């Protein structure tokens, strides 16, 4: 069930949350070896999923509650949570919700339908 916008905005605004593409770029530039979403096997696989979201029309994909593991050789950052900001354009919204729904189902969750919400939460189990 969708939560109200304030819940999503509180997640987006915490210091450990980052726009997903920027997060990957920053980690790459700083030499962090592994950046992943949930239990994905690689940085490349994780980034590809974020790029799918943008290709589907997401206005923004935010990695929230990013965890840092500096003691892992080469360094690692990961999150199991994304907040997807939906676009206003109805066709893009439908395409973005189709993508978020596919990801949700792959993780064992029900997809969200369009009820005019601004955000969708993706949890990687």
pLDDT digits (tens, 9 = 90+) for 14-69: 999 999 999 999 999 999 999 999 999 999 999 999 999 999 999 999 999 999 99
The answer for residues whose C-beta is within 8 angstroms of residue 108's C-beta and 6 or more apart is 125
The pLDDT of residue 2: 55
Confidence of residue 4 (pLDDT cuts 50, 70, 90): confident
pTM for this entry = 0.93
Structure-derived torsion over alpha carbons of residues 30, 44, 42, 109, reported in degrees to the nearest 10: 120
Express each pLDDT in 62-111 by its tens digit: 999 999 999 999 999 999 999 999 999 999 999 999 999 999 999 999 99
Beta-strand pair 34-37/76-79: parallel
Decide: 105 and 111 in contact? Cβ < 8 Å: yes
The answer for residues whose C-beta is within 8 angstroms of residue 114's C-beta and 6 or more apart is 93, 94, 97
Share above pLDDT 90 across residues of the chain, in percent, rounded to a whole number:
94
Express each pLDDT in 28-42 by its tens digit: 999 999 999 999 999
Q: At residue 117, does pLDDT exceed 60?
A: yes
Decide: 62 and 83 in contact? Cβ < 8 Å: yes
Question: Could you tell me the two tokens for 21?
Answer: 């593409």
The pLDDT of residue 1: 47
């Amino acid at each position: 069930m969708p939560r109200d916008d304030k819940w999503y905005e509180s997640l987006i605004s915490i210091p450990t949350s980052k726009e997903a593409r920027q997060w990957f770029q920053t980690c790459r530039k700083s030499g962090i070896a592994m950046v992943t979403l949930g239990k994905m096997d690689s940085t490349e696989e994780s980034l590809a999923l974020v790029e799918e979201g943008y290709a589907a029309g997401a206005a923004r994909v935010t990695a929230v509650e990013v965890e840092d593991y500096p003691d892992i050789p080469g360094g690692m950052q990961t999150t199991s949570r994304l907040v997807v900001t939906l676009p206003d354009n109805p066709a893009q919204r439908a395409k973005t919700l189709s993508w978020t729904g596919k990801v949700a189902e792959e993780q064992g969750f029900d997809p969200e339908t369009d009820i005019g919400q601004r955000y969708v939460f993706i949890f990687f189990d």
